[in-house]
Amino acid sequence: MTLQQSELLILGVVIGTHGLRGDLKVRGRDKDIVLLSQIRQLVFLRGDETVRVCARGKADWHKGNIVLRLADSDDFNSVQSLIGCEVAVRREDVPALPDGEYYWHQLKGLTAVDRRLGVIGHLEDMFTTAAHDIYVIVGSYGEVLVPAVDVFLVEVDLEKRSVLFDLPEGLVQEN
């Protein structure tokens, strides 16, 4: 089966095995790693080559990584060759979210615009704190950390590839 990279969403990389029953330990690229516990059909890639397409069995969390068992594998030897492979899903298999909610892969790279300052950069990363997620915007104002809360986020326009913020004065270091 030949799959185009544009058809796939890469979610993580196999960093090792876990136990003797063929479980794979996968480190996520970003917050979208949770999709590996929701989507059953997985694609394993090495570079541009599709190594294996198979159904996922169970999925559990262990020390910040996801541990996957493949439906067609039940021992350590049958999955050893997948170490180092990227794990992807077909974009068409990604479940739709309710209006106003987005996956990180949809937001990453969007142009970040503030109502007052105009373009401030691009969404480059996101991380989680105890209180909420934080967007990392990199651009002409350096690195700007914006809490991912409704009071600051005005609009996401996926067609225009932009996100509009209403940031309080002082959050962005103006020169």
* The predicted structure's pLDDT at residue 5: 74
**pLDDT at 1 exceeding the cut of 70:** no
* The predicted structure's pLDDT at residue 106: 94
* The predicted structure's pLDDT at residue 30: 87
Give 26's strand partners.
Answer: 14, 66
Pairwise CA distance, residues 44 & 14, whole Å: 9
- For residues 166 and 6, the model is more confident at 166
User: Hey, CA dihedral for 73, 76, 78, 79, is it positive or negative?
Assistant: positive
Q: CB-based contacts of 159: which residues, under 8 Å, 6+ apart?
A: none
Structural domains in the chain, CATH included, are 5-93 (2.40.30.60), 104-165 (2.30.30.240)
* The predicted structure's pLDDT at residue 4: 77
Direct distance between the N- and C-terminal alpha carbons of the chain, in angstroms, rounded to an integer = 54
Residue 21's pLDDT band (cuts 50, 70, 90): confident
pLDDT in tens, 123-154: 999 988 889 899 999 999 999 999 999 999 99
Q: Is 171 exposed, middle or buried (0-12, 13-18, 19+ CB in 10 A)?
A: middle
Q: What is the mean pLDDT of the chain?
A: 91
**pLDDT at 175 exceeding the cut of 70:** no
Q: Is 42 exposed, middle or buried (0-12, 13-18, 19+ CB in 10 A)?
A: buried
CA angle 49, 55, 56 (to 5 degrees): 105
pLDDT in tens, 46-88: 988 888 899 998 998 988 899 999 988 877 788 899 999 999 9
Cβ–Cβ under 8 Å, residues 126 and 31: yes
Cβ–Cβ under 8 Å, residues 133 and 148: yes
Residue 157's pLDDT band (cuts 50, 70, 90): very high
Distance of CA 157 to CAs 17, 153, 160, 164, Å?
Answer: 40, 12, 5, 8
Q: CB-based contacts of 75: which residues, under 8 Å, 6+ apart?
A: 20, 21, 22
Residue 6's pLDDT band (cuts 50, 70, 90): confident
